[in-house]
Structures are given as C-alpha cells and as structure tokens.
A and B are shown apart, each in its own frame.
Chain A
Amino acid sequence: MYQYDEYDRKIVFERAEQFAHQVERRVSGDISELQFKPLRLQNGLYMQLQAYMLRVAVPYGLLSSRQMRMLAHIARRYDKGYGHFTTRQNIQYNWPKLEEVPALLRDLASVEMHAIQTSGNCIRNITSDHLAGVAKDELEDPRPIAEIMRQWSTFHPEFAYLPRKFKIAITGAPDHDRAAVRIHDIGVRLLKNEAGEVGCQIIVGGGLGRTPVVGKTIREWLPKEDLLSYLEAVLRVYNQWGDRKDKFKARIKILVNTLGQAEFTRRVEEEWVHIKDGVMKLTQAEIDRVSKFFVPPAYKTLPDSSAQLASFKLGKDREFGRWAQHNVDQHKVPGYSAVYLSLKMPDTPPGDVSDTQMDAIAQLSDEFSFGEIVATHTQNLVLPHVETARLPELYQALAKLDLARPNQNLITDIISCPGLDFCDLANARSIPQALEISKRFEDLDYQHDIGELNIKMSGCINACGHHHVGHIGILGINKRGVEAYQLALGGAPGNDASIAKIVGPAFPPDKIVNAVETVVKQYLAIRSSDDERFLDCYRRVGMEPFKEALYGAH
C-alpha cells in the first residue's frame, strides 16, 4: 500500500497542529461557531445529534494492521470503545471530545491517516472495489489509479470550494462492478479499447439522495495519461456551472440533467482541449512510481485451491461450510482466497466494530493476510490474501470474535446508516429496524433459501444507507413528527444499476419488518426456481405481485 513520504507526513502533522490552534481559538471564544464550523468540517468533524462525530479517511478502504491497531486505540482512548465503518469505506467515531480531537488527529498522522476532506464541499475519499488487486475477474488493479486520484484531489486549490460534495469511485473489474461507480459523481471503469489497451471509461452524474440518478458515460475510453486532465475538465465545468444557490440542486447530477448529457459532455471536451497536454498529463513514470506501492505480497506458490474450497463448502462441518460458501471469494492467485468479516451481528449496529475486535482483526491480518485489511462499501471488512488451506483455522478465530456470521449478500447483510439515533440530518431511526429485520431472518437455513437479497436502509433522503440501490430499499421519513418507513424494490448498484421504486404508502415502525417479510414470502412463492434471485424475480414480474401482497387487502 501507499507509503507516505516526508512531504505527506509533514502535511498531516501540520494539519493536526493547525486544527489544534483552531480548537483553542474556538474554546476561548476568539472565533465563533459560525467561523469554526467550516474549519472543523474540513477536518471531518461533524456536530451530530448526541455528540461530535469524526470521519476518518480510509483511501479505497485499504488498511494496514498497524493502522487498524491505531483505530482500535482511538476507539478506546477517545471514544466509547468502538468505530463504525461506512458506505464510503471510511470509519467514523461517534463520541470524540472537541479538545481531544487534535491529539486524535496526531495519533492518526503517526500511522499515515487523517480526516482531511471527509466532509465539506470538496472531493471526498476515493473509493474502489474491496477485492481490488485480488479479484479473479479483475482486468487491472485499480488502486494505483485510485491513489493517483487521491493525491491529485487532496488540497487541490481549485476544487476546495465546490458547489457541493464530490465523490469518485473506480473499478478495475469492468464486468463486475463492486465499487458502485454508476452512482457516484464520477465513476471510472478500467477497460480495454479495441486495440487491447487498458484505459478509463468516465461516467458522470450518478448519485443517490433526493434525486437518485444512474450516471451517464461521457467518455467511452480515455488513455490513462489523460485521466487527471479529463477529471479536471469535468470538475471545472461543475465548479463553474453547478448551482451554488440551492443546496438541494447543487450536485453534479443536477447539472448533467439540466444541461443534458450531450451539452455537458461538450463543455467538458471544450475545457479539456485546453489542458489535456499540460501539467496534468499523467506519465508512465508516475503510474509506475505509484504502482510500485501495490505490488502483490510474497505469495507462496501453491496449487489451485478451487477443489479444496468446494470441499470446505460441502464438508461435515455445516457452519464452517456455510461460511466458506458465503464469506469466501475466489482469488486470482492459486491457493488463496479473500475472506469477508461480517460486521452484521445480532444486536449490533451494522458496520460497528469494537476496539478489541479491531485489535484482533489486526492480529489476524498479520497472521493470515500479509497485514492488510479492506473496508467494503457494504460495511464489512475483507482479509484479501488468505491461504485457502488455512480457512478452517481463520474461521475458528473469527467465530470467537463474533465476526463469522455467514451472511455476505444475504438478507441479514444489511447496509444501514446511523439514522436518527446519531445523525443530525436524519428523519427516522434506521438501526433498530435493521436489527429487527436481522432478527426476523436470523435462521441461517431460511437466509440460505432466500439467497442473494440486499437490504439497504437510510434514515433520511440523503441516502447514506444507499436505499435507492437496495434490492429492498427502506427510507425512514417523518410524517408529522412521527417516524415512518417507505419501502422500495428493485434497486441495484453494479453494472446493471437501477433505482428502486417505491411500492406504496409508508409503514409505521411496528409494521415495516412485517412488510419486508411479506415481500420475501411473496418472492419465495413466485420465483421461477430456487436459483432465481430476488432482483431477477422482481425484474421479471414487476411491482404488482409485491404491491398486491402488501396492500391488496386494504
């Protein structure tokens, strides 16, 4: 992974010191809250419902064991013993104290981490495929390009005051997008042109929130050397023409929609012509320099382990077999697997992990995964380099830590934002409902029978829980001061991205879980075979059967 140089280290330490002075001035009353707010947001520090919240950047989700240990220390020392992994591959702490945040930032800086640009109207954390570098279906490891984009976007002087936040995602597996690039402000897909060269497809104007939109491809293929200049052109058009008066119309998706794809593209290309051969030209030397940080670890030469993995799935140990089936992904290197650590456990908010678990995960990553861990945008973790032969051993260790629930992509692998229990923006709680749903479907046989079904929950229209792209999406709303929940069906975030459609009137808190169960039962009743996934079934039959099941009696 990328290693800071002296310049990088200086920046993050100086930033922590700068913020320390800003906090001093705020506490003394030298500066008002109005003056302080943009400064603290630029350091990822929010004022939430119950306390401050600090969002720490985890570039493309990649963590070293050393960094994970520091995250554990921060949870212990500065918070209430836990952290929360988010849908942007970041980690959040819900209870830091203001005057301790500078010390917290210094601790982060000591392990090459920070909270810079995790908030505010700037380019946020670059996200990517959680299997980057190891996926069998990957065309090329996207992490070098992700890192290049990260460096380009950090403290970019021209884009420090955009009309609104800006999110970029990249995938190196063009046929199986696990980074949800089509629902980002800019999505980058690495793919080959007709000559077989790997370059970048540019998708712009995707997003969720108040106006969910699947992004539009404005450039089918671009040589890597032109990526940064092209991104600059897109950002410049957005910076110049994006709405700055109405916060709810300020994202780039609105601009693309207003101008139309053709006109937006024209303006980008027009801007790009002036800068494409300038200082932003990405040299092969630079790509090679950064790529060196992502060379594969010292894998052993092992035989193919597909058969062994298959035998684990069907072996006598049923629990281990289930886990091997759902929580283990094939690896591009023979003899290795990528392992999911489920952060979706009963009675625990999705994505939460305790300090002791974080310490243990760090230790396991050293023992099993060359010291690397990846946060997924589905609020789980991955150990990306595990010898398949050692899966039984790892499983035992994870089970003791409560991190082995065999539910990846199943109905209890719920994405949920913090909701009204924590978030100042929320209209309704999301975590209690997520936990209730999880409890309703806790039977593993039942989950297995249902198959792939992603539930995504948001406590407000900002859609941090990605409800628009859930197979079942749930949105918490406020109806005259009372919480209620809208159900939507048929969303998907990947190559076949679609926005979920609202089924009908919202459900009160004590009925939403029943409503989800009704939908699931209807699916089981009408699917064409045991192998037909929920999403495919919905796309085949449409909304009516589900609407009828939910509301038909009323």
Chain B
Amino acid sequence: MADTNELVVVTAHWLADGAPVYLTAAGTWSRALQEAEVFLVEKGEAEASLRGKTEQPIVADPYTFKIEKRDGFIDALSARERIRSTGPTVRVRRPD
C-alpha cells in the first residue's frame, strides 16, 4: 500500500501531440516537470481522476507518479518518468 506521505505529481499526455505534461498549481498543464504542483498521494490521485473526467479534449490518461523534492527541485523517482520529462537520451534525428 502506498505511503500516504509520499509526494506525487499529476501528469498526462497532451492530446495534440502526446507529449508529457504536468499539472501546475494554477490548474494548467506545463511541459516542464519543474512547474508541476506537488501533491500528497491521495490528493494527487483525486486530482488526476478529476482531470481525466473533465479535460478529455486537452489531455489523455492523467496519472500520478512519485517524486522527491530537494532544494525546490522535483526529481522523478523512476527512470521512466525521468526520461519522460527530459526527453530521449539519444539523438532523435539522424544527421545528414
């Protein structure tokens, strides 16, 4: 069972291009993980669920993932979300 004191952010896919976006304190979506609002697990999951119902034309599949916050910096705890937030670690276009 999740530790209710763990910190999470809410993320989703931007419907238009599938890019990862993060829910901000202003209730908007940002492509920058560092602009995400940090929640406790229960509140985060509730927020994700709400956005999933109310923002279908904007985002797809909101969910939460665990983070750590150190000196104001948000760090995803999983390699998956870290890569997702920073982009592929390989060059995406083959140089000509």
List chain A positions with a Cβ less than 8 A from chain B. Answer: 26-29, 32-33, 47-52, 80-82, 94-95, 97-99, 345, 347-349, 352-354, 356-357, 420-422, 426-429, 431-432, 435, 478, 481-483
Contacts and interface: CB of A to CB of B under 8 A. Distances in A.
A354 B93 contact: yes
A347 B29 CA distance: 34
Contact of B93 (A32, A52, A81): A81
Interface in B18-64: 18-20, 52, 56-57, 60-61
B18 A50 contact: yes
B70 interface: no
Contacts of A352: 94
A421 B79 contact: no
Contacts, number: 89
Interface of B: 13, 15-20, 52, 56-57, 60-61, 77-80, 83-84, 87-96
A50 B90 contact: no
A50 B20 contact: yes
22 contacts: A27-B15, A33-B56, A33-B61, A49-B80, A49-B83, A49-B84, A50-B18, A50-B20, A80-B92, A82-B94, A97-B16, A98-B16, A98-B18, A99-B16, A345-B94, A348-B94, A352-B94, A354-B93, A354-B96, A426-B80, A429-B89, A482-B79
Contact of B18 (A29, A48, A426): A48
Contacts of A354: 93-96
B57 A33 contact: no
A33 B61 CA distance: 7
Contact of A435 (B56, B57, B84, B90): B90
Contacts of B95: 347, 354
Given A49-B80, A348-B94, A432-B90, 9 more contacts: A26-B15, A49-B83, A49-B84, A50-B19, A52-B18, A82-B92, A354-B96, A435-B90, A481-B78
A52 B60 CA distance: 11
Given A49-B84, A98-B18, A420-B80, A33 B93 contact: no
B90 A52 contact: no
B94 A50 contact: no
Contacts of A483: 79
A81 B82 CA distance: 25
B13 to A, nearest CB: 6
Contacts of B87: 50
A83 B70 CA distance: 39
